[in-house]
Amino acid sequence: MAAAAAAETSEASTAGLALAEANINWERLDKTRFHVIGAILFTAQQGALHPTAVVKTRMQVAEGGLSHMSGFAVFRRILRSDGIPGIFRGFGTSAVGALPGRVLALTSLEMSKEMAFKYSENLDMSEASRIAVANGIAGLVSSIFSSTYFVPLDVICQRLMVQGLPGMATYRGPFDVINKVVRTEGLRGLYRGFGITMLTQSPASALWWSAYGGAQHAIWRSLGYGIDSQKKPSQSELVVVQATAGTIAGACSSVITTPIDTIKTRLQVMDNYGRGRPSVMKTTRLLLEEDGWRGFYRGFGPRFLNMSLWGTSMIVTYELIKRLSVKPE
CA distance 86 to 266: 20
C-alpha pair distances (Å), 204 with each of 112, 193, 198, 212, 223:
17, 15, 10, 12, 28
> Does the residue 178 lie in any domain?
yes
Domain that holds residue 287: 1-324
Q: How many Cα atoms sit within 13 Å of 167 on the Cβ side? A: 12
> Does the residue 309 lie in any domain?
yes
Average pLDDT over residues 91-95: 88
Average pLDDT over residues 288-298: 79
Report the percentage of the chain scoring pLDDT > 70. Answer: 86
The pTM of the full predicted model, rounded to 2 decimals, is: 0.64
The mean of the pLDDT values for the chain is 79
Q: How many domains does the chain have?
A: 1
**C-alpha torsion sign, points 86, 91, 92, 93:** positive
> Does the residue 264 lie in any domain?
yes
Q: Is the pLDDT of residue 297 over 90?
A: no
Q: Is the pLDDT of residue 83 over 80?
A: yes
Per-residue confidence band for 16, with pLDDT thresholds at 50, 70 and 90: very low
| pLDDT recorded at residue 229 | 56
Torsion angle, CA of 290/309/107/213, rounded to 10 degrees?
100
Per-residue confidence band for 227, with pLDDT thresholds at 50, 70 and 90: low
| pLDDT recorded at residue 272 | 57
CATH code of 272's domain: 1.50.40.10
Q: Is the pLDDT of residue 179 over 90?
A: yes
Q: Is the pLDDT of residue 254 over 70?
A: yes
Q: How many Cα atoms sit within 13 Å of 73 on the Cβ side? A: 8
Quick: pLDDT tens for 306-325. 777 777 888 888 888 888 89
> Does the residue 251 lie in any domain?
yes
Quick: pLDDT tens for 133-152. 888 899 889 888 888 888 89
Quick: pLDDT tens for 17-30. 444 445 577 888 89
Average pLDDT over residues 250-269: 80
CA distance 136 to 210: 4
| pLDDT recorded at residue 67 | 59
> Does the residue 239 lie in any domain?
yes
> Does the residue 329 lie in any domain?
no
Total Cβ atoms within 10 A of residue 184: 9
> Does the residue 121 lie in any domain?
yes
> Does the residue 70 lie in any domain?
yes
226 torsion bin: left (phi>0), alpha (psi -120 to 50), beta (else): beta
Least confident range of 94-108, 195-209, 274-288: 274-288
| pLDDT recorded at residue 252 | 80
329 vs 33, higher pLDDT: 33
